[in-house]
Structure 1
Amino acid sequence: MPHQPSRRQVLAAGAAFALGSAIARPAAAQSGSPAPLRILVGFPPGGGTDAIARTLADKLKDLLGQPVLVDNRAGAGGQIAAQALKAASADGHTVFLSHDHTISILPLVTRNPGFDPAHDFVPVAGIATFVNALALSGGTPARSLPEYVQWVRERQGGKGNVGVPAPASVPEFLVKLIGQKYSLDLQAAPYRGSAPMIADMLGNQIGAGIGSIPDFIENHKAGKIRVVAVMGNARQAAVPEAPTFAELGLKGFEDVPYYGLFAPAGTPQAAIDRLGDALAKVVAQPDVKDKLTAMGLAVGYMSQQQLASRERAYTQAWAKIIKASGFQPQ
Structure 2
Amino acid sequence: MTTRRHFVHSASAFAAFGALSPLIARAQALDQVKIINGFPAGGTADATSRRVGEQLRGSRYTSNAAVVENKPGAGGRIACETVKNAAPDGRTLLLTPFSCTAVYPHIYTKLSYDPFKDLMPVSIAAVMHHGLAVGPLVPSSVRTVKDYVAWCKANPNQASYGSPAAGSLPHFLGALLGSYSGVALTHVPYRGSIPGVADLVGGQLASMFTPSGDFLANHKAGKIRMIATSGPARSPFSPEVPTFAEQGFSELTTEEWFGFYAPAKTPDTVIDNANAAINAALKIPTVISGLATFGLVPAGSTVREMDRSQREAYFRWGPLVKHIGFTGMS
Q: TM-score range by the shorter chain?
A: 0.7 to 0.9
Gaps of 5+ in 2: 1-26
Shift of 1:317: 0.3
CA-to-aligned-CA distance 1:133-158 (integer Å, 9 cap, x gap): 1111134222332222233333x147
Letter in 2 for 1:230: T
Q: Does 1:151 align with 2:151?
A: yes
Q: Which residue number in structure 2 is paired with residue 272 of structure 1?
A: 271
CA-to-aligned-CA distance 1:225-261 (integer Å, 9 cap, x gap): 2211111211110111111111111122333111110
Q: Which residue number in structure 2 is paired with residue 97 of structure 1?
A: 95
Q: Does 1:325 align with 2:324?
A: yes
Shift of 1:159: 5.3
The answer (yes or no) to whether the contact 2:103–2:313 under 8 Å persists in 1 is no
Letter in 1 for 2:232: N
The whole-number CA distance in structure 2 between the counterparts of 1:298 and 1:57 is: 16
The answer (yes or no) to whether the contact 1:255–1:314 under 8 Å persists in 2 is no
Q: Which residue number in structure 2 is paired with residue 252 of structure 1?
A: 251
Q: Which residue number in structure 2 is paired with residue 289 of structure 1?
A: 288
The answer (yes or no) to whether the contact 1:34–1:67 under 8 Å persists in 2 is no
Shift of 1:294: 3.1
Q: Which residue number in structure 2 is paired with residue 10 of structure 1?
A: none
Q: Which residue number in structure 2 is paired with residue 300 of structure 1?
A: 299
The whole-number CA distance in structure 1 between the counterparts of 2:259 and 2:30 is: 24
Letter in 2 for 1:96: L
Q: Does 1:60 align with 2:56?
A: yes
The answer (yes or no) to whether the contact 1:137–1:226 under 8 Å persists in 2 is yes
Query: In structure 1, the residue corresponding to 2:321 is in which secondary structure?
Result: helix
The answer (yes or no) to whether the contact 2:90–2:262 under 8 Å persists in 1 is yes
Letter in 1 for 2:105: P
The answer (yes or no) to whether the contact 2:132–2:210 under 8 Å persists in 1 is yes
The answer (yes or no) to whether the contact 2:124–2:260 under 8 Å persists in 1 is yes
The answer (yes or no) to whether the contact 1:158–1:185 under 8 Å persists in 2 is no
1:1-330 equivalent positions in 2, closer than 5 A: 35-63=31-59, 64-141=62-139, 142-154=142-154, 156-157=155-156, 160-330=159-329
Shift of 1:163: 0.6
Structure 1 vs Structure 2 CA RMSD: 1.9
Over 4 Å off, 4+ runs: none
Q: How many residues align?
A: 298
Letter in 1 for 2:281: V
The whole-number CA distance in structure 1 between the counterparts of 2:225 and 2:163 is: 16
The answer (yes or no) to whether the contact 1:35–1:67 under 8 Å persists in 2 is no
CA-to-aligned-CA distance 1:47-79 (integer Å, 9 cap, x gap): 111111111122112443224100111100100
Over alpha carbons, which structure has the higher Rg? 1
The whole-number CA distance in structure 1 between the counterparts of 2:233 and 2:97 is: 20
Letter in 1 for 2:190: Y
Give the % identical residues: 33
Q: Which residue number in structure 2 is paired with residue 27 of structure 1?
A: none
Shift of 1:299: 2.1
Letter in 2 for 1:100: F
The whole-number CA distance in structure 2 between the counterparts of 1:308 and 1:34 is: 25
The whole-number CA distance in structure 2 between the counterparts of 1:87 and 1:265 is: 9
The whole-number CA distance in structure 2 between the counterparts of 1:67 and 1:293 is: 21
Length-normalised TM-score, structure 1: 0.85
The answer (yes or no) to whether the contact 2:121–2:262 under 8 Å persists in 1 is yes
The answer (yes or no) to whether the contact 1:160–1:186 under 8 Å persists in 2 is yes
Query: In structure 2, the residue corresponding to 1:296 is in which secondary structure?
Result: coil
Query: In structure 1, the residue corresponding to 2:326 is in which secondary structure?
Result: coil
Length-normalised TM-score, structure 2: 0.85
Query: In structure 2, the residue corresponding to 1:313 is in which secondary structure?
Result: helix
Gaps of 5+ in 1: 1-30
Letter in 2 for 1:35: D
Letter in 1 for 2:147: E
